[in-house]
Structure 1
């Protein structure tokens, strides 16, 4: 009896287990909705220009520390801090009375020297007549001749003293040597200032504002590239002989300021292996101030046609770069690529991808060669950080 019951019971258990196994197998088959979702796009084809970016500082074309050239009491300050000034504008007035007295004394000494010179000239003329008449000796004639030359030297010395006194008189008026914008006064009226020499009192400073310079350091390979472009006349559509440069300051993401290189150092710094480049930029609105941090980029090539993909579409396999390409069967293909320059947030694809092929832009982390995907086609805009479905 027991042997009879065990057979049917085992049969039922086996059927239940078999049914459960069949249910699991049917549920494990992937459906269309379970394929990896990716966004694909064709590479952007456009003319591009390569730019090399550097960091540096803005500097004034002209910068002057205004110092006193004569000593005296400061009488007046004739500007407001930060004023825009022109060359020749009166900035400071130093007490001129002592220098007026010195000038008057020098003028009087000049007149005395001139009088002595006239007298010596008359004496020599009489001496020559007497010498021809043999009324005086040769020694007397020579003495009067030398006396004339001595008085002439005295006149010239007195004239130099007058010139010096007049210069000192002029130096009591401290004028701007350049056009630009002036800093604050570093000493106020009523103070004694020292003039001349290394200890001359610093009164203020002036910097020119338009144009401005930007200095950066570039490696020798880059400098050689710029020089070869200049030699080959590789200027694209710009049609000039100057290498274009662009500038951005701290609050700017793009490079809105246009300029050109006007100087490359003739000697490399052996310690750093770099040469100094200087860009010059117009600054009519005075947005750019000397001392500002700046990013300057130098044009590194003429415009050329290229295909571009965003950086996020490019994978790295050890030293190899690759992209995922989706074929007509929606299967993923592993494609090695050779990269070119960075253009914004995109890279130039030099080899390995055709413009008409569809590359995976988003979702590359999920992919393996040969698997099927559920692609969403999008288009890349001219701005590589924008995607248009």
Structure 2
């Protein structure tokens, strides 16, 4: 037999095994966990305007000529600090005149008392008529009234002299002076300067009717302080800040809605010890709206799709399914899910890049908890 024929015969007698069927790839592993259910504080954000807690227009209480200005424009002042001085000479003369009138009234009173004392025994012994005694007693009462009037006039003159020194009625920051030394000012009319109190400050904001009703129902249910007197918590963030670092309390809610805007005015009081918060500026205000039970997931577990935000869940058979959700704020590093997710859902919190909607995965059980950074704060 030829070598080639032998090779063919050998090949014909050899049995070859069929190729093994191709094995399906293993389902990729992912980490899943049920949403964390806990009570969280709900906050609503509003645009607020900072106002001074008190604003005083400094006007003279007596008329006169300004002789000296004692403050720098925009300075911080304390209660009783001298701001303006008026020409005091007319007021000093008025005080001296009033004192002289008091002395004259005292002399008249002394004479009237002496006459009453002198006529009393004469009337008792019938050496003088009773009508004369009535006249002396009337003169005594007139002298007493005259002395009281003179003393009142003296106090008024001394008060006018005191008013010639115009002082700060409370601590705060003054504006610029509106008059200079040498100007005549009129009692109660001329504006000298303005003073604003800066610690604390007020923050004014407008809340919608829907917000107001939600606050009122939360207060009725006990999850929020009732009424402005209880002081719901407020947090403030300036326009160039990223954190709500200023704390305060709600201290006033208006008694009616604005018919044009459909909003109601609220006011919060915020401490300002460093006087950095300036009246007239705007800020973001966060108002405590009550505690509520919420589901929370890691912020990294949230994905974006065409309809908005969603999380991926794993069904009992290992199939990945998306769930469209409505999200709330971040609390302790976790994102609040307002709606769209059930408490028993298995949310993918690890290996998200290996999961595709409709595909199968191998679910490994995990746990959702506050982030370490949030817990450390």
Indicate whether the TM-score tops 0.5. Answer: yes
Given the alignment, which residue of 125, 140, 143 partners 1:151? Answer: 143
User: CA, structure 1 residues 221+134, in 2 after alignment: closer, same or farther (shift >3 Å)?
Assistant: farther
User: Given that residues 245 and 299 in structure 1 are in contact (C-alpha distance below 8 angstroms), is that contact kept between their aligned partners in structure 2?
Assistant: yes
User: CA, structure 1 residues 221+135, in 2 after alignment: closer, same or farther (shift >3 Å)?
Assistant: farther
User: Map of 1:65-104 to 2, 5 A cutoff?
Assistant: 65-104=57-96
Q: TM-score, normalised by structure 2?
A: 0.72
Q: Which residue of 2 aligns with 1:357?
A: 347
User: Given that residues 43 and 307 in structure 1 are in contact (C-alpha distance below 8 angstroms), is that contact kept between their aligned partners in structure 2?
Assistant: no
Task: State the 1:99 CA deviation.
Answer: 0.4
Given the alignment, which residue of 248, 261, 264 partners 2:237? Answer: 248
User: Map of 1:168-187 to 2, 5 A cutoff?
Assistant: 168-187=160-179
Question: Please, which moves more after superposition, 242-251 or 45-54?
Answer: 45-54
Aligned residues: 323
Task: State the 1:61 CA deviation.
Answer: 1.7
**SS of structure 2 residue aligned to 1:69:** coil
User: CA, structure 1 residues 205+51, in 2 after alignment: closer, same or farther (shift >3 Å)?
Assistant: same
Contiguous gaps of at least 5 residues in structure 2: 1-30, 361-367, 372-377
Task: State the 1:65 CA deviation.
Answer: 1.2
Alpha-carbon distance in 1 for matches of 2:215, 2:277: 26
Given the alignment, which residue of 269, 276, 279 partners 1:287? Answer: 276
CA distances 1:90-112 after superposition (whole Å, capped 9, x unpaired): 11111101100011001101111
Task: State the 1:181 CA deviation.
Answer: 1.6
Task: State the 1:218 CA deviation.
Answer: 2.0
Q: Which residue of 2 aligns with 1:116?
A: 108
Q: Which residue of 1 aligns with 2:201?
A: 212
Q: TM-score, normalised by structure 1?
A: 0.70
**SS of structure 2 residue aligned to 1:189:** coil
User: CA, structure 1 residues 306+324, in 2 after alignment: closer, same or farther (shift >3 Å)?
Assistant: closer
1:54 aligns with 2:43: no
**SS of structure 2 residue aligned to 1:79:** coil
Alpha-carbon distance in 2 for matches of 1:44, 1:289: 43
Alpha-carbon distance in 2 for matches of 1:382, 1:272: 41
User: Given that residues 35 and 346 in structure 2 are in contact (C-alpha distance below 8 angstroms), is that contact kept between their aligned partners in structure 1?
Assistant: no
Alpha-carbon distance in 2 for matches of 1:324, 1:51: 23
Q: Which residue of 2 aligns with 1:135?
A: 127
Alpha-carbon distance in 2 for matches of 1:129, 1:231: 81
User: Given that residues 230 and 243 in structure 1 are in contact (C-alpha distance below 8 angstroms), is that contact kept between their aligned partners in structure 2?
Assistant: no
The Cα RMSD (Å) is 3.8
User: CA, structure 1 residues 355+97, in 2 after alignment: closer, same or farther (shift >3 Å)?
Assistant: farther
User: Given that residues 53 and 202 in structure 2 are in contact (C-alpha distance below 8 angstroms), is that contact kept between their aligned partners in structure 1?
Assistant: yes
User: Given that residues 48 and 284 in structure 2 are in contact (C-alpha distance below 8 angstroms), is that contact kept between their aligned partners in structure 1?
Assistant: yes
Task: State the 1:255 CA deviation.
Answer: 1.4
Question: Please, which moves more after superposition, 135-144 or 155-164?
Answer: 135-144
User: CA, structure 1 residues 99+138, in 2 after alignment: closer, same or farther (shift >3 Å)?
Assistant: same
User: Given that residues 55 and 216 in structure 1 are in contact (C-alpha distance below 8 angstroms), is that contact kept between their aligned partners in structure 2?
Assistant: yes
Question: Please, which moves more after superposition, 64-73 or 161-170?
Answer: 64-73
Contiguous gaps of at least 5 residues in structure 1: 1-39, 373-379, 384-389
User: CA, structure 1 residues 326+68, in 2 after alignment: closer, same or farther (shift >3 Å)?
Assistant: same
**SS of structure 1 residue aligned to 2:274:** coil
Q: Which residue of 1 aligns with 2:192?
A: 203
User: Given that residues 231 and 249 in structure 2 are in contact (C-alpha distance below 8 angstroms), is that contact kept between their aligned partners in structure 1?
Assistant: yes
Alpha-carbon distance in 1 for matches of 2:290, 2:125: 92
Task: State the 1:314 CA deviation.
Answer: 5.6
Alpha-carbon distance in 2 for matches of 1:277, 1:138: 74
User: Given that residues 324 and 332 in structure 1 are in contact (C-alpha distance below 8 angstroms), is that contact kept between their aligned partners in structure 2?
Assistant: no
Task: State the 1:263 CA deviation.
Answer: 2.4
Question: Please, which moves more after superposition, 300-309 or 281-290?
Answer: 300-309
